[in-house]
């Protein structure tokens, strides 16, 4: 089966961003601000409670976990939904908050299992953990299209999408390495402008992997049409 080249995927991403770049840029900034605010709150809490010893540390740890569960996980799925809709429909900033009104518990729960499974695989060796992280990398996109999908099926679908493609996902990630280095030279400022391009490009990769899995018959189109 023909594999879309990285250049073709990136060209598609650029086409999507032609009419949505600054909107996408603003959404990426908003996600960064919200997650950074949550991290800052946890850091300040840790500093304030530093004199409380282990009790203070526990409070900070619990707060960080809550931020991850109720901010980081849902927004990662919401961000994927925004870029999916930027491709197939008119995007809306409210897509970021889509998980909060659509099966939030399921979205959080599946992401928790992703974190647990990745951690457990990493305990064996680093490489298995990395490989599994690529296998699970499509779950935020899957949930962005169908937040009602149960955990077992979500893991089956992401496996179907990434089977035979983990190396491709890895190499696609590496293809942005030069841009990331340049962004680091600008003390991270350049990354703010790069992030929409990377997000749009990985969304195109997701569409490509999904089309391949549908063609193989391992998934059905109906599983990805939740209110898009």
Average pLDDT value for residue range 75-90: 94
Average pLDDT value for residue range 16-39: 91
**Residue 54: pLDDT above 70?**
no
Q: What angle do CA 171, 173, 175 make, to 5 degrees?
A: 70
The whole-number pLDDT of residue 164 equals 94
The whole-number pLDDT of residue 126 equals 86
Average pLDDT value for residue range 89-108: 94
Average pLDDT value for residue range 78-88: 95
Mean pLDDT across the chain, nearest whole number? Answer: 90
> CA dist 168 to 69, 76, 202, 208, 216, Å?
29, 22, 12, 12, 18
**Residue 19: pLDDT above 80?**
yes
pTM of the model: 0.91
| Contacts of residue 157, Cβ cutoff 8 Å, sequence gap at least 6 | 138, 142, 149, 213, 219, 223
Give the Cα separation of 22 and 45 in Å (integer): 34
Average pLDDT value for residue range 147-153: 96
147-163 exposure pattern, b = at least 16 Cβ within 10 A, e = fewer: bebeeeebbebbebbbe
Report the C-alpha dihedral over residues 100, 102, 106, 112, rounded to 10 degrees: -30
**Residue 62: pLDDT above 90?**
no
| Residue that is written with structure tokens 């003390």 in the block | 187
The whole-number pLDDT of residue 21 equals 94
């Amino acid at each position: 089966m023909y594999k879309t080249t990285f250049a073709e995927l990136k060209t598609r991403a650029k086409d999507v961003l032609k009419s949505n770049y600054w909107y996408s840029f603003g959404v990426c900034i908003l996600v960064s601000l919200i997650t950074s605010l949550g991290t800052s709150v946890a850091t300040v809490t840790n500093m304030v409670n530093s004199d409380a010893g282990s009790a203070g540390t526990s409070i900070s740890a619990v707060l960080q976990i809550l931020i991850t569960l109720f901010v980081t996980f849902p927004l990662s799925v919401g961000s994927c939904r925004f870029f999916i809709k930027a491709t197939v429909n008119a995007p809306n900033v409210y897509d970021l908050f889509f998980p909060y009104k659509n099966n939030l518990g399921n979205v959080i729960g599946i992401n928790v299992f992703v974190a647990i499974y990745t951690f457990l695989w990493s305990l064996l060796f680093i490489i298995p953990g990395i490989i599994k992280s690529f296998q699970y990398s499509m779950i935020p996109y899957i949930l962005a299209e169908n937040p009602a999908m149960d955990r077992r099926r979500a893991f089956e679908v992401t496996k179907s999408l990434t089977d035979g493609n983990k190396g491709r996902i890895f190499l696609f990630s590496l293809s942005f390495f030069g841009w990331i280095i340049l962004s680091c030279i600008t003390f991270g400022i350049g990354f703010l402008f790069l992030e929409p391009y990377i997000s749009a490009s990985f969304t195109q990769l997701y569409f490509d992997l999904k089309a391949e899995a549908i063609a193989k018959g391992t998934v059905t189109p109906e599983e990805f049409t939740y209110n898009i």
